[in-house]
């Protein structure tokens, strides 16, 4: 389980998420941040999200929007590999950053990882750029 950075509050995102839950989740996250006396950063525990679809991504984006309206932002904790891959696939890596196991931000998002063992082939006939 990931470590929670000092001064952070945790918001557990339930799963699965129905479309009717979208506004309520954003409102709940915003209220939690506004109620925090220290204006702590919000860590969203997404470990329960097992149905990964556009509704789940919409919910996370709405929670981030609610946080930004209060001057804060969220980071995701306990994200599954499929969720990390989906976030990278749709280009939300910067919108929905992850928390590393040490509690800090991940320095490299999923779309920035290098694949081990993959080398680029070079055609010796190509001119040097």
- Residue 49 sits in a domain whose CATH number is 3.30.750.24
The answer as to whether 55 is a domain residue is yes
User: For residue range 84-126, what is the model confidence (pLDDT) as tens digits?
Assistant: 999 999 999 999 999 875 444 443 333 343 343 444 444 555 5
The answer as to whether 116 is a domain residue is no
Token pair for 38? 């220290």
Number of domains into which the chain is organized: 1
Give the residue with greater pLDDT, 44 vs 73: 44
The answer as to whether 97 is a domain residue is yes
The answer as to whether 2 is a domain residue is no
The answer as to whether 128 is a domain residue is no
Give the residue with greater pLDDT, 102 vs 19: 19
Question: In sequence order, what are the residues at sequence separation of 6 or more whose Cβ sits closer than 8 angstroms to the Cβ of residue 126?
Answer: none
The answer as to whether 63 is a domain residue is yes
| 40 pLDDT more than 80 | no
Range of the domain at 90: 8-108
The answer as to whether 57 is a domain residue is yes
Report the predicted TM-score, pTM, of the whole model to 2 decimal places. 0.72
pLDDT of 41 reads 78
Which residue in 29, 33, 46 sits closest to 7, CA to CA?
33
What mean pLDDT value characterizes the chain? 78
Task: Provide the angle, in degrees to the nearest 10, between the axes of the packed helices 22-35 and 54-69.
Answer: 30
The answer as to whether 33 is a domain residue is yes
Q: Yes or no: say if 106 and 99 are a contact pair by the CB < 8 Å rule.
A: yes
- Read off the pLDDT of each residue in 14-21 and give the average, rounded to a whole number: 89
């Amino acid at each position: 389980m990931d470590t929670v950075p000092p001064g952070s509050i945790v918001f557990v995102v339930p799963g699965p998420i129905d479309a009717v839950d979208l506004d309520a989740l954003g409102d709940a996250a915003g209220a939690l941040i506004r109620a925090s006396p220290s204006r702590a950063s919000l860590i969203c525990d997404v470990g329960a999200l097992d149905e990964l679809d556009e509704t789940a991504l919409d919910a996370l984006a709405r929670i981030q929007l609610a946080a930004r309206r209060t001057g804060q932002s969220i980071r995701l904790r306990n994200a599954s590999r499929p969720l990390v891959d989906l976030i990278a696939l749709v280009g939300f890596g910067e919108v929905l950053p992850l928390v590393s196991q040490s509690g800090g931000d991940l320095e490299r998002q999923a779309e920035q990882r290098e694949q081990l063992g993959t080398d680029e082939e070079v055609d010796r006939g190509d001119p040097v750029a």
